[in-house]
Structure 1
Amino acid sequence: MTSKSGDFKVCAARDSQGHYEKARRGEFTFFSGVDVEYEEPVNPEITIEIDHISLNDAADRISSFLKKKILSGKDIKALAKGTDKA
């Protein structure tokens, strides 16, 4: 499980697709931080503190984590091809 932590204002400011604004207008419901409280996972495998790093750095950390802990290079190639078998 992955967790993100960060100030609501930072998350909303980085929202390039306007999801937070749509949630505020009621177009999205059950949206964490807008109409429901965000519940942090009890024991996440990785936490990304988005207040303190760039989006690119966050993506790099997640990618590194996946490569090291979950997927082998062979599995990544299979997923890129759309198969679940290497």
Structure 2
Amino acid sequence: MTSKNIVWHDHKVTKQDRSSIKKQKPVILWFTGLSGSGKSTIANAVETKLYKMGKHTYLLDGDNIRHGLNKDLGFSEEDRIENIRRIGEVAKLFVDSGLIVLTAFISPFQKDRDQVRNLVNDEEFIEVYVDTPLEVCEQRDPKGLYKKARAGEIPDFTGISSPYEPPKNPEIHIKNDEVAVEECVEKVIEYLKEHKYI
């Protein structure tokens, strides 16, 4: 139950102050796609590139978050919705701190991704759809999850027994089948430059 005795405190140091000292425009780069699509790999490579450019970033990864903040959540539809809600709130705080925050989550439902988008200003959310065919993701299967899902060992597995809703209008659409990671990274960096985030 939410308390009625909570008051929002405004800070004297603003988001604009924090971002101007970093010489960048804060934003959420929301990488979404099937398990094995390459989200984490590309997000890691983008963050590395930004770091080398002297930019201030933080990467939130699905598995890592479930080791701490969201370790109490399972993979039911309700828990997945709550997982993304919490991540959205954390990402919003990072944006307020002036950072470029990268997130790598399957985030299968469009309404959940839209909910995160609505937490921040219009220009502070960039949906990056890592579009990799299911058969390619299954061939990669870096964690052996598809094999377990096909054997019925993992219920509610996205792409097999649970749906994935592809973004309708992502800001960045990466078709990640037989494409070098460097090429994917360059696409994201060029978007950030073109729209003056960096």
TM-score (norm 2): 0.29
Aligned partner of 2:160: which letter? V
**Greater CA drift, 60-69 or 19-28:** 60-69
The reply on whether 1:35 has 2:161 as its aligned counterpart is yes
Mean alpha-carbon deviation: is it higher for 38-47 or for 18-27? Answer: 18-27
Shift of 1:23: 1.9
Gaps of 5+ in 1: 73-86
Size of the aligned set, in residue pairs, is: 71
Identity %: 32
CA, structure 1 residues 46+59, in 2 after alignment: closer, same or farther (shift >3 Å)?
Answer: same
Cα-Cα RMSD: 2.9
Residue 63 of structure 1 and its aligned partner are, at CA, apart by 5.7
Contact 2:132–2:175 (CA<8 Å) still a contact in 1? yes
Structure 2, unaligned stretches of length 5 or more? 1-126
AA partner of residue 60 (structure 1): V
Residues 60 and 18 (structure 1), Cα distance of their counterparts in 2 relative to 1, 3 Å cut: same
Match of 1:17 among 129, 137, 143: 143
Change (3 A) 1:36 1:14: same
CA contact (8 A) 1:5 1:47 kept: yes
Larger radius of gyration: 2
Matches within 5 A, 1:1-86: 1-54=127-180, 56-57=181-182, 60-61=185-186, 64=189, 68=193, 72=198
Q: Secondary structure at the match of 1:47?
A: strand
More strand by share: 2
SS at match of 1:22: helix
Q: What are the superposed Cα offsets for residues 35-84 of structure 1, whole Å, 9 maximum, x if unpaired?
A: 12321111112111122413x23652476268546965xxxxxxxxxxxx
Amino acid at match of 1:43: N
CA 15–70 in structure 1, closer or farther in 2 if over 3 Å, else same: farther
Compare 26-35 and 13-22 and name the one that shifted more. 26-35
